[in-house]
Amino acid sequence: MSTLKDYGSFETAWCPGCGNFSILKAVKQALVQCNLAPHDVLFVSGIGQAAKAPHYLHANVFNGLHGRSLPVATGAKLANPHLTVIAESGDGCNYGEGGNHFLAAIRRNIDITLLVHDNRVYGLTKGQASPTSPEGFVSKAQPDGNPSLPFNPVAVATVMQAGFVARGFAGEMAHLTDLICQAIAHKGFSLVDILQPCVSFNRLNTFSWYQEHCRKLENSYDPTNQRGALDVAMMDENRLPIGVIYRNKRPSFKEKAEGSSSERAFGLQPFNQALFEEVLAHYY
Amino acid sequence: MVKRNSSKTICIGGEAGQGLVTIGQLLCKALVRSGYHIVITQSYQSRIRGGHNDFFIRTSVDPVAAPSKTTDLLIALDQASISEHGHLMNRDGLVVLDAILDPETHHALKVPFKDLAGDGFLNIAALTIAGALLGLNESLIQKLISDTFHKKDKAILEENLLVFEKALKWVREAAPAFEGLPPASPKGPRRLMLNGNEAIALGAIAAGVRSGFFYPMTPATSIMLTFIKHARTMGIVFEQAEDEIAAVNMAIGASFCGAPSLVATSGGGFALMAEGISLAAMTETPLVIAVAQRPGPATGLPTRTEQGDLLFVLHSGHGEFPRAIFAPGDVEECFSLTQKAFEISEKSQGPAFVLTDQFLADSYRAVLPFDRIDTKPLQSVAHAPDTKTPYQRYALTPDGLSPRLYPGMSHHLVIADSDEHTEDGHITEDLSIRKKMVEKRLKKTALLLSERIPPSFTGDSHPHVLFICWGSAKGAVEEAAERLRTPSLRTATLHFSQVWPLAPDDFLPVIQSAGVVVSVEGNATGQFAGILQRETGLRLEKQITRYDGLPLTPSYILSAFEKIDEGH
C-alpha cells in the first residue's frame, strides 16, 4: 500500500494562493487511492507554472520542453508499457504550443493520462492571453482585448471520441481526486481539464467566480452518449459542468498494435543474432 | 579500384509509374548474384506518375564506387529517355526501346514489347533482354524471377516465366551487336544488395535499437520503412508521428525509458527537430538522428542530392553541448557508422548524427554480409544494485558521465529536466551548480574524441595532388584521384567519415605533406573546408563544388580540376 508520505512534500516556486497547490494535493491523493508506488509512475511535463508540479512530488519525472509533454509521454509508454504515464502541464503548453500533439494523442488513444492545469492565462510569462482565455481578455499583449475565441478542450476531445474526457475544478479537491483516479484507471488516452484561478494574472476567473459557475454533473448523467456529452461540453460560461463528460471503450493504441507493440519491446531485450540473420536474408 | 573503361553503365529511363525501378532493382540483383559490383544512381522527380525518371547502374567485375556520366546500354521506356540521355551514349552503346518509339540516330534494338509482354509484364521482358545483352546467365535470371514472384499467385509467376521465355527467344533471334560484360565469378561469398538507407536501418537494428519515430520526408523515408519492415521480427516499437517535433520528442521519451531510438529525416524536417536535439543534450538522453540531405533552402529540390546541411547539423540546437557527426562514404559505412553512432550516443548520453544524402540513400551496392562484423548490441543499464538512495541522475563525476538508470526498472526514481538542474535532476537557479553542469556536459567531448574515427587516406604518400572530401563524395573522389595519377603525378584522397569532433593531429601532417590540396564537396560554399579552416587555421583555397542536385562523378571532378590547374 502506498501512502501520501511516499509522495513527499517540497518547497514550491508558486504564488501563495495558486490553484496549483490543491491540484498537486489531489494528484498525490489520487496516486495513493490508485495504490501506485512512486517508482511505477512517470510524470512528463512541459514548461509553465503547471509543468513544475512533478518536481514537487516523489516519482519518475521527465520535465521536457514547452508543448512537448505528450510526445515524450508517448515514446515512454511505448518503450515501457508497465509504467503509469501521466502528462501534466498547463493550457498554454497543451492547447497552444502542443495543440497538434493534443489532437494526435486523442486519435492515437495511447494509454496516457493528461492533466491540464487550465487557468486561462500565461502565468510564467506574466499574463498574456492563453488558448482558453475568453474573447476580449485584456492584457499587455492584447491591449484591445483578446480577439480570438477560446479553445474548448473538452468539446474538441468529445468530438474526436477521446476515451475519457473530464473537467475538474481545483476548488473541489475530493471530486478532482476521483476524476484523476478514474482517468489513470482508464485504458487509453484520458483528459482531465482542471479549472483553476491564477491569483496574479487572471482577475476575471477568480476562485469565487469558479465557485459560482462550476456545477457538478448529476449522478443520472450518461457520459457514454457522445451527442449528449457534446451538449454538456459546450454549455456556456454560466454553467460550467464538472465531472466525467464523455467516455467510451475504444481500443487503445496498444491493443490495436499488438505484436509490434508488445511487452518484449523494451530496451532490456537482448539482441537476437539469429533473428537478425533472418532479416539479412531478405537482401541476398 | 575500377579502371577507366572496364565498367559498363546501364540507364533505364521512363516516366514515373512505368516500372523502371523494378527493372533496375531486378537487374541489380541479377548482377550482384552473378558476381559483379554495382553503383546505382537514381534520379527522379517529385511526382508519382509521369515526368522523367532514370535509374543508372554502373557495373564492373572490379570494385566500383562512383557513378559514371556516360551510358553503354540505354533501356528507353519513353521518348524523353532518348532526348535526355542519347547524347551521353558511348560510341559502342545500344539503345533498347519499344518498337513504337523513335531511336533517332542511335544504334538501336527495337523491341515489340506489346507482343512479348502484353500489358502487365514489360518489366520482365526488359529485364530478360537487358540480362541477355549483358551476357548474364539465363537460368540465374529465371531463378531471380521465381524468387521474386513465388510468394504471389502461382498463375502470376507462370505468366512472368512465360514472358521471360518469349523475350529470351526473341532477343536470341534478334542478336543485336553489343559487347556484353566480361565474365564474373559468382563463386565468391554471397553478397547482399543494399542501398544506403537500408544499410542505415540495418545498422541501427544491429546496434540493438528498440524504437523508431519519424514523419515521412524524401529522401529519408525509406530508412524508416526498412526499419518498420523488420520491427516485428526484432521486437521493436515504432510510430509515425504527427510532425517532426513529435518524432524527436517521442524518441527522447523512449530512449529515456531504455529503448534506444532511431529518428530519420531530411533538412526541412530536421529544422523542426532542433529543439529536441538541445533537449537530448540537456537531459543527457541518447538520441541518434539520420539526416538524408537534399538540396535546400526550404523545400528545394526534394528528390535530388546535396551535401548542404553539414553546418546546419553541426550547429543545430540552442546552447552549447558536444555531439558526434558521422558521414558514411559508402553503403558499408552506412551500416557500420550507424552502429557506431548508437554506441557513442549511449556511451556519451547525448546526440549523435548520421549524415547521408539522396545519392547514397538510393544507391544500391553489393556488400559482403555483416555477420563478420562484431555486433555489440547496446548494454542495458537498468539494474544497478549498488546505486545509493536517492539516486542522482546527474551525479558529478570526473569524466562527466553519470550512472544511468531507467524509470520503472527499480525502486530508484529517475528525474530528468530540460531546465538547468541539480545532480538529482530538479530545476535549479543556483548559478554555481549551473557552471558545474555546463562543464560536466562539455567534458563528454573527451570521450567523443577518444572514440573518433580518423579520416582515411588512400593513394600515394607525399602526393602532388591531394583531394579532401567527406561523406558520399568518397567513391567519386577516390576514382578521380586514381584516374589523374600518372607515373610522374602522385595523387591521393583524404576522406572524412566522421566530420565532428575533429582531431587535427590525425590529418594535418598528411595535408602538409601534399603539393596541391583540393577540397571536393557537394555544396556551393565548401562547408567542410570552412570547418577545417576554423579548426586548424588551414585555408583550402582550391575547391571543387557541385550544387546542381546531381551527385559528384569522377568525370565532373576531373574536368573541374583541369580548370583549377589551368588557373594555377
Task: Give mean pLDDT in consecutive 10-residue pieces for chain A, a chain of 284 residues.
Answer: 93 94 98 97 97 97 98 95 96 97 97 97 94 96 96 98 98 98 97 96 93 96 98 93 97 72 55 88 92
Query: How much is the pLDDT for B372?
Result: 47
At residue A194, φ and ψ (nearest 5 deg) are -110, 110
The shortest C-alpha distance from B243 to chain A (Å) reads: 8
- The count of structural domains within chain B is 4
User: Rounded to an integer, what distance in angstroms lies between the CA atom of residue B395 and that of residue B390?
Assistant: 11
B360 and B388 belong to one structural domain: no
Contacts of A7 in chain B (CB under 8 A): none
Contacts of B369 in chain A (CB under 8 A): 280
Query: How much is the pLDDT for A237?
Result: 86
Instruction: Identify whether B185 is part of a domain.
Output: no
Select from A89, A160, A283 the residue whose CB has the most chain B CBs within 10 Å, as the one to mutate to test that interface.
A283
Tell me if B62 sits within 8 A of B546, measured CB to CB: no
Q: Do residue A104 and residue B241 have CB atoms under 8 angstroms apart?
A: yes
Select from B391, B418, B424 the residue whose CB has the most chain A CBs within 10 Å, as the one to mutate to test that interface.
B418
Query: How much is the pLDDT for B150?
Result: 84
Contacts of A47 in chain B (CB under 8 A): 418
Around B428, how many Cα atoms within 13 Å sit in the side-chain half-sphere? 17
B237 and B170 belong to one structural domain: no
- The count of structural domains within chain A is 1
Instruction: Identify whether B2 is part of a domain.
Output: no
Query: Residues B352-370, buried b or exposed e (16+ Cβ, 10 A)?
Result: bbbbbbbbbbbbbbbbeeb
The shortest C-alpha distance from A248 to chain B (Å) reads: 23
Select from A10, A31, A78 the residue whose CB has the most chain B CBs within 10 Å, as the one to mutate to test that interface.
A78
Give the structural domain span for B501. Answer: 456-567
Q: Do residue A79 and residue B230 have CB atoms under 8 angstroms apart?
A: no
Count interface pairs A-B at CB distance under 8 A.
Answer: 204
Query: How much is the pLDDT for B468?
Result: 98
Q: Do residue B283 and residue A62 have CB atoms under 8 angstroms apart?
A: yes
Q: Do residue B254 and residue A79 have CB atoms under 8 angstroms apart?
A: yes
Instruction: Identify whether B180 is part of a domain.
Output: no
Q: Whose CA is closest to A238, among A217, A210, A219, A218? A: A210
Pick from A68, A79, A271: CB nearest B211: A79
Pick from B192, B235, B419: CB nearest A264: B235
Burial class (CB in 10 A: 0-12, 13-18, 19+), A207: middle
Q: Whose CA is closest to B223, among B22, B327, B358, B37? A: B358
- Which domain CATH number covers B49? 3.40.920.10
- Closest-CA residue in chain A for B276? A65
Q: Whose CA is closest to B266, among B309, B213, B224, B317? A: B309
Query: How much is the pLDDT for B511?
Result: 97
Give the structural domain span for A232. Answer: 4-283
- Which domain CATH number covers A272? 3.40.50.970
At residue B557, φ and ψ (nearest 5 deg) are -65, -45
Query: How much is the pLDDT for B378?
Result: 62
Instruction: Identify whether B438 is part of a domain.
Output: yes
Measured CA distances, B87 to A11, B71, B78, B92, B259 (Å): 77, 9, 16, 13, 53
Q: Do residue B253 and residue A40 have CB atoms under 8 angstroms apart?
A: no
Q: Whose CA is closest to B254, among B407, B368, B112? A: B407
Q: Where are the beta strands (DSSP E) in A24-171?
A: 41-45, 60-63, 84-90, 113-118, 164-169
- Closest-CA residue in chain A for B191? A284
B418 and B496 belong to one structural domain: no
User: CB of B224 within 8 Å of any CB in chain A?
Assistant: no
Taking each helix axis as running N to C, give the angle between helix B431-450 and helix B331-348, from 0 to 180 degrees, rounded to the nearest 10: 150
Tell me if B176 sits within 8 A of B135, measured CB to CB: no
Q: How far is CA B392 from the centre of its chain?
A: 39
Cell numbers placing A203: 482577475
Q: Whose CA is closest to B243, among A17, A189, A67, A162? A: A67
Number of Cβ within 10 Å of residue B119's Cβ equals 7
Q: Sheet containing A240-247: which strands, arranged edge to edge?
A: A214-216, A240-247, A164-169, A190-195, A113-118, A84-90, A41-45, A60-63, B415-417
Burial class (CB in 10 A: 0-12, 13-18, 19+), B140: middle
- Which domain CATH number covers B486? 3.40.50.920
The single-letter DSSP state of residue B86 is G
- Closest-CA residue in chain A for B32? A284
Around B510, how many Cα atoms within 13 Å sit in the side-chain half-sphere? 21
Burial class (CB in 10 A: 0-12, 13-18, 19+), B439: exposed
Query: How much is the pLDDT for B568?
Result: 57
Tell me if B346 sits within 8 A of B281, measured CB to CB: no
User: CB of B241 within 8 Å of any CB in chain A?
Assistant: yes
The shortest C-alpha distance from B231 to chain A (Å) reads: 7
Q: Do residue A47 and residue B242 have CB atoms under 8 angstroms apart?
A: no
Measured CA distances, B265 to A266, B66, B255, B290, B394 (Å): 24, 24, 18, 6, 30
Per-residue pLDDT of chain B (568 residues; tens, 9 = 90+): 444 458 999 999 999 888 899 999 999 999 999 999 999 999 888 888 888 899 999 999 999 999 998 999 999 999 999 998 999 999 999 999 999 999 999 999 999 999 999 878 899 999 999 999 999 999 999 999 999 988 878 899 999 999 999 999 999 999 999 999 999 987 888 899 999 999 999 999 999 999 999 999 999 999 999 999 999 889 899 999 999 999 999 999 999 999 999 999 999 999 999 999 999 999 999 999 999 999 999 999 999 999 999 999 999 999 999 999 999 999 999 999 999 999 999 999 999 999 999 999 999 999 998 764 555 556 655 556 678 889 999 999 999 999 999 999 889 999 999 999 999 999 999 999 999 999 999 999 999 999 999 999 999 999 999 999 999 999 999 999 999 999 999 999 999 999 999 999 999 999 999 999 999 999 999 999 999 999 999 999 999 999 999 999 999 999 999 999 876 5
Q: How far is CA B186 from the centre of its chain?
A: 26
Partnered with residue A214 across adjacent β-strands are A240
Q: Do residue B243 and residue A269 have CB atoms under 8 angstroms apart?
A: no
* Sign for the pseudo-dihedral over CA of B152, B154, B157, B163: negative
